[in-house]
Amino acid sequence: MAPGGESVPPPRLRRGRLALRPTQPEDCAFVLAVERDPDNARYVGQWTAARHRACMDGAGWVHAVIEEAGEPVGYVVLQDADDPDGNLLLRRIALARKGGGRGRAALILIMRYCFEVLGFHRLWLYVAEHNKRALRLYLGLGFVMEGTARECAVEGGQRYSMHVLSLLEGEYRLRLATARHRRVQL
């Protein structure tokens, strides 16, 4: 699909035990529980069920559940999937079950969706400067730090900065080709 095309293909991808599928209204309780988990609430904004539902069928929004062996383990929200310039914003990712490379595998599915399904040029995101686990995940998959929005966010009266990171299609393809050459999975 060309960036900014008429309809956004649904996120249906699989990689081993992990899969992405469109979030359904009945998944709302799960999504809110993951979002409100104190280990996640420190790093992701807190939305109402109505806001999540609006995202599920809002133009340019992609809301997906991350499943492992058929069980929901997290969710992801993507924004600007109708951007004519081909920039997809990874607005939110949160897992109920973390570690063991789950986040990495989920992000690879999101990269595939962005570059291979949508045919987009750039996948980008904001990450809080103190979110070391997420930073390590993004940098480990080849995301490049573009800059820092200094002291742009506030929580509990404390200001903090957000880094802007992105991955370009060419960087993704090079990574994929290198992995194939080495006969390993990305």
Ligand X SMILES: CC(C)(COP(=O)(O)OP(=O)(O)OC[C@H]1O[C@@H](n2cnc3c(N)ncnc32)[C@H](O)[C@@H]1OP(=O)(O)O)[C@@H](O)C(=O)NCCC(=O)NCCS
* Site residues for ligand X per CB under 6 A: 40, 43-44, 93-95, 98-104, 125, 127, 131-134, 136-137, 140
Residues 2/52, Cβ–Cβ less than 8 Å: no
Shortest Cβ 153–ligand X spacing (Å): 12
State the number of CA atoms in the 13 A half-sphere of 99 facing the CB: 2
- Give the separation between CA 132 and CA 11, rounded to whole angstroms: 27
Q: Which is nearer to ligand X, 93 or 118 (CB)?
A: 93
Q: Which is nearer to ligand X, 3 or 52 (CB)?
A: 52
The one-letter amino acid at 155: E
Shortest Cβ 4–ligand X spacing (Å): 25
Residues 73/97, Cβ–Cβ less than 8 Å: yes
- Give the separation between CA 87 and CA 153, rounded to whole angstroms: 23
Q: Which is nearer to ligand X, 5 or 132 (CB)?
A: 132
- Give the separation between CA 82 and CA 90, rounded to whole angstroms: 13
Shortest Cβ 8–ligand X spacing (Å): 22
Shortest Cβ 126–ligand X spacing (Å): 7
